[in-house]
A and B are shown apart, each in its own frame.
Chain A
């Protein structure tokens, strides 16, 4: 577009050739990074030996010496003598085989387990649909309302011929997913409002938001959960009772909201002043400016710490075990209380850990993709 022509003397171009294999191939990489001198060679060999030993030990324990199932006698008690005879040289996956339904669904009536199973599938489907950018519009609202209603009906029952299941009997993975989903779905919008409020020109709003964030951040989640479960009912009028799960849920929302608000505020802080000024100069209103210019840019910038916090809170929901809510981890712990299975904690925790890992890793991978996708405009 420039009208200026640049007169540069023609430089005879060398014919481009690819770099030699010894400079860029895997052998060159290994020579440069692993065997560049006697010290690095020694470190490489020692580390290599330790890694191979550890992997082989794990494979032996987890697969080769492992026992996958044990006989169950007529009274429904598992015969775990074979597992005990291993003396820890092999994993007793039989505990997972036998107890996985209890770990996943807790004390939910056994013959109704298809309901929480379906709930978990619905949750995962909801995550997948919400993750697709094609659905990032108003259609998500009815999808969420519809799915959450279906989840409520399935869990409680009492209609459509489904037997009623009181909330005290819910447990396992659905509880974890309920706490995490509602927690983050409410905490995230709350955090945006709080972050905006902290930068507001209105002193009352600003003070309110600062007090909220500092108060909640200064208290451990565990004590908040205790307050929600023990202290909160004392303030309620006689006869009025909000159920325990809901109270824990509110505590988690408030806690996550405060942390996320600081992450969002960091994003708001990172925007150059010129963006605000340009939007003001064009006559956009506060909410137009915030919705179209400020938040889209601020939130993109903070995707990594945002997802970091999301993942942290997904796992922190397991803290509800201290107030006796039967989430996935509590169910796992309870599964090995039975005398026959005592002493097989590692296998259970590996199994529970894997479930957490699947969800967290999915979040992490998705956010990496989203980040690359949404920040396309930054690349030239």
Chain B
């Protein structure tokens, strides 16, 4: 594990129990052909809650969060985001995608647009924001991820860590209520992981509802309200970072933890 984040203190929880849950997964099942990739997945994420999802590769964790904004479609069960049920209704889908930001493992910035254009595209065309206002907003978020000076450059001119921070800023420019992170540091060189994790910690500090698929245990300890351990398409254990990492109940989790600890 990267030692980038010291577990010197868990940041304050922002869970709001008075508000309705941000995300509900109710007995969600999904198959890729004959392969059963999600098996009866149940999960509730409260508004303001920060959930870290971990598990071995192929455990379905990426598929699960990709179902939340329907980059993948689930075949059984219900998913509710911000009170709206995901279905074939395109209007509901648009409404959900406006409120859910996503950060990908491979950044997926648009290489033919400048950093600023990457950030303003969706606010202008989806949120119908005036261009000037969108640019001001973009500069505000670029400043927050500490790269305002790169605004006029193209993604290809930036380092991986910088690109991922732009991707975070780009998602934030839509002012989402929920942020999904799909292994945001897995494609990065070790020395760039810290700058991206720092940005995510900062975001957590603002009370954003977050679901993060990651293997960064230090980050999980510092930020997560709950850690979800998945294996072979199932949610195996759910608990506070302390419970999951220090007091694993199942053999599968024990084995996973011993592997990732030995591996580093």
> A and B, one complex?
yes
A interface residues with partner B (beta carbon < 8 Å):
1-4, 272, 274-275, 277-285, 288, 292-293, 296-297, 300, 376-380
Q: Is the CB of B110 within 8 A of A275?
A: yes
Among the listed stretches B15-23, B121-129, B239-247, which one makes contact with chain A, having 4 or more residues with CB under 8 Å of it? Answer: B121-129
Chain B contacts of A280 at CB under 8 A? 69, 71, 97
Q: Is the CB of A380 within 8 A of B157?
A: yes
Residue of A nearest to B97 (CB): A283
Query: In the complex where A277-B71, A278-B108, A282-B126 touch, is A1 in contact with B147 (Cβ < 8 A)?
Result: yes
A281 to chain B, nearest CB (A): 4
Count how many chain B residues have C-beta atoms less than 8 Å from C-beta atoms of the other chain.
Answer: 35
Residue of A nearest to B71 (CB): A277
Q: Is the CB of A274 within 8 A of B104?
A: yes
Chain A contacts of B147 at CB under 8 A? 1
Residue of A nearest to B180 (CB): A281
**CB-defined A-B contacts under 8 Å, sample of 17:** A1-B162, A3-B195, A4-B191, A4-B194, A275-B110, A278-B104, A279-B110, A280-B71, A281-B71, A281-B101, A283-B97, A284-B125, A297-B110, A300-B112, A377-B111, A377-B154, A377-B155
Near A by CB (< 8 A), chain B positions 156-204 give: 156-157, 159, 161-162, 170-171, 174, 191-192, 194-195
Q: Is the CB of B156 within 8 A of A378?
A: yes
CA distance A272 to B155 in the complex (A): 15
Residue of B nearest to A273 (CB): B108
Q: Knowing that A277-B71, A282-B171 touch, tell me 9 more A-B residue pairs with CB under 8 angstroms.
A: A1-B146, A277-B104, A278-B104, A278-B110, A280-B97, A284-B125, A376-B154, A377-B155, A377-B156
Query: In the complex where A274-B104, A292-B125 touch, is A297 in contact with B146 (Cβ < 8 A)?
Result: no
In the complex, B215 has a CB within 8 A of chain A: no
Q: Is the CB of A283 within 8 A of B146?
A: no
Return the 3 tightest CB-CB contacts between A and B, nearest first.
A283-B97, A278-B108, A377-B154
Q: Is the CB of B154 within 8 A of A2?
A: no
Residue of A nearest to B118 (CB): A278
Chain B contacts of A377 at CB under 8 A? 111-112, 154-156
CA distance A293 to B155 in the complex (A): 14
B97 to chain A, nearest CB (A): 4
Residue of B nearest to A278 (CB): B108
In the complex, B98 has a CB within 8 A of chain A: yes
Q: Is the CB of B156 within 8 A of A1?
A: no
Residue of A nearest to B106 (CB): A274
Q: Is the CB of B108 within 8 A of A1?
A: no
A280 to chain B, nearest CB (A): 6
A274 to chain B, nearest CB (A): 4
Residue of A nearest to B155 (CB): A377
**Number of inter-chain CB pairs below 8 Å:** 81
Q: Is the CB of A274 within 8 A of B108?
A: yes
Chain B contacts of A288 at CB under 8 A? 125-126
B201 to chain A, nearest CB (A): 14
Q: Is the CB of B156 within 8 A of A2?
A: no
Q: Is the CB of B174 within 8 A of A2?
A: no
A197 to chain B, nearest CB (A): 19
- Provide the B73-113 mask, 1 if CB < 8 A to any CB of A, else 0: 00000000000000000000010011011101010111110
Chain B contacts of A284 at CB under 8 A? 121-122, 125-126
A3 to chain B, nearest CB (A): 7
CA distance A309 to B120 in the complex (A): 36
Q: Is the CB of A2 within 8 A of B111?
A: no
Q: Is the CB of A1 within 8 A of B159?
A: yes
Chain A contacts of B71 at CB under 8 A? 277, 280-281
Q: Is the CB of B110 within 8 A of A281?
A: no
Chain B contacts of A285 at CB under 8 A? 94
Chain A contacts of B100 at CB under 8 A? 281
Chain B contacts of A2 at CB under 8 A? 159, 161, 191-192, 195
Chain A contacts of B161 at CB under 8 A? 1-2
* Most chain A beta-carbon contacts within 10 A, residue among B109, B122, B162: B122
CA distance A378 to B113 in the complex (A): 11
Q: Is the CB of B195 within 8 A of A1?
A: yes
Chain B contacts of A378 at CB under 8 A? 111, 156
CA distance A81 to B146 in the complex (A): 84
A380 to chain B, nearest CB (A): 6
Residue of A nearest to B173 (CB): A282
Which residue in A274, A275, A277, A283 is a CB contact (below 8 Å) of B122?
Answer: A283
Chain A contacts of B170 at CB under 8 A? 282
Chain A contacts of B69 at CB under 8 A? 280-281
A15 to chain B, nearest CB (A): 30
CA distance A187 to B48 in the complex (A): 53
Residue of B nearest to A374 (CB): B112
Chain A contacts of B94 at CB under 8 A? 283, 285
Chain B contacts of A300 at CB under 8 A? 112
Query: In the complex where A1-B161, A3-B195, A377-B154 touch, is A283 in contact with B126 (Cβ < 8 A)?
Result: yes
Query: In the complex where A3-B195, A377-B112 touch, is A281 in contact with B146 (Cβ < 8 A)?
Result: no
CA distance A320 to B112 in the complex (A): 40
- Provide the B50-89 mask, 1 if CB < 8 A to any CB of A, else 0: 0000000000000000000101000000000000000000
* Most chain B beta-carbon contacts within 10 A, residue among A1, A2, A4, A380: A1
A183 to chain B, nearest CB (A): 28
Chain A contacts of B192 at CB under 8 A? 2
B184 to chain A, nearest CB (A): 13
Residue of B nearest to A286 (CB): B90
Chain A contacts of B126 at CB under 8 A? 282-284, 288
Query: In the complex where A1-B147, A2-B191, A4-B191 touch, is A281 in contact with B102 (Cβ < 8 A)?
Result: yes
